[in-house]
Structure 1
Amino acid sequence: MMAPAVDAAIRMRAVKKSYGTLEVLRGVDLDVEPGTVFALLGSNGAGKTTAVKILATLLKADAGTAMVNGLDVVAQAARVRESISLTGQFAAVDDVLTGRENLILIARLRHMKDPGKIADDLLARFQLTAAEGRRVAAYSGGMRRRLDIAMSLIGSPPVIFLDEPTTGLDPEARIEVWQTVKVLASRGTTVLLTTQYLEEAEELADRIAILHQGRIIADGTLAELKKLLPPAKVEYVKKQPSLEEVFLAVVGARGGDRDADVAGRVGSEVGGP
């Protein structure tokens, strides 16, 4: 089990969640340091969205504890919601309104002073000023997602959850979102990113956890995770393992004995359960 992080912005301990007889989370332990991008990596159905919903107070865990910004997500749910923002798999924007009107609407709902200035600042920050007067229905996928993330920043939440933010986007739009996440990280925002795209985690994350069959089976930096594979054979050029190779090897190790030695190294070298 991982060592506890005293100043963790996000923490889960032994969190379990089932839907009827289906066990989705089977004892998840997680620590995310403040001001970092943490990628929760897993296949479809691994439990990533369920974990995020528990942290965002949208679901209650069956067992275990979860903390965000030092606040218990059950006992202090209202305060947790005040300090976070959640962007789901599909952009939650109003197609009838313009980009600027979407931002002003959220600022007013959050009782912010000077909603117009807030909107103008965010439009400039996310390179949407030229499109501020256009209805969002005419935006590209990347623009819609950038606007969605901009809306989530109103009120300056210290923690942001991005649940598969590039699902369904083309490569160019995905790169736009990646650049947006990098800007967030550079400003000290804590970002928990769920994704099934291995290169996305590799590109953005300070730390990566692999969620498989309801458990965290590996947790570390990209360099630490790469050490789970045997050293590359040196012929003329040393080939470093990719995150995709690490992911497939670790997940495969839990499905049989073929890679049992890799599974053993997960707990000893990186801190998996």
Structure 2
Amino acid sequence: MTGAEGTASAEGVRLQKALANAGVASRRVIEQYIVEGRIRVNGRTVTELGTRIDPDSDLIDVDGTAVQLDVSKRYVMLNKPTGIYSTMRDEKGRPDLRRFTKDWPERLYNVGRLDAETSGLLILTNDGDLAHVLAHPSFGVTKVYIAKVAGTVTAQTIATLTRGFDLEDGPIKADKARLLDASKGSGPGSASSLVELTLHSGRNRIVRRMMAAVGHPVEELVRRQFGPLHLGTLPAGKARELTKIERGALLTLSRQDSPAAAGDDDKQETE
């Protein structure tokens, strides 16, 4: 691809045509973007209207946000309910994710896992490269959880979570933690608290283990955010395709090539 260096190639597709086909804007508007220097190809700003690209290999971004050129890739957000196992085919015949993918012809896979007792945001896609980046802890993709836990969580406990402590598989700390609510309950042992935890760790059942370690076992757990994606008002048990803005944010994140958390293990997260 020579277009990124400012010289048109006889091969490939014109940049404005590729972006128009991807739904970014009309060709006329995209031509203005090119002239204004708002589009990059493989990290280099292009300003010539004759620029041609290979949609199968070149990486394009507009105003710093990645563009999806491959329309065969599908990106779906699911609000996984409790009782569902994070696999496309459970070997024991338990409820799995297949029921949520029947509306899409592509063969979708889950990015990472949420255990059966945990609900919330799960990404389904047929984009293997993106799935690898999002699920691998070395890329430092943050997840936000809301945990209902037993007992009254104190400011000291929140400080412990963010300061860090040792678990059986090594040290751990939350990127952020805050107390959302606390209830004394109506009888002995009925007090509970709502805690928000932000983590990039990919270690198995890490939120449950962290909260148990500080004396507040998890009673309910939901993942509200995965990287730039927010669960919002999506009801439990419902799935929807990502919007163009969400896809762009996710692809931009996946193209970052500097691992951010080298100390974490290599396992996919399961929470």
The structure that is helix-richer by fraction is 1
| Fold similarity call, TM over 0.5 | no
TM-score tier after normalising by the smaller chain length? under 0.3
TM-score normalized by the length of structure 2? 0.28
TM-score normalized by the length of structure 1? 0.28
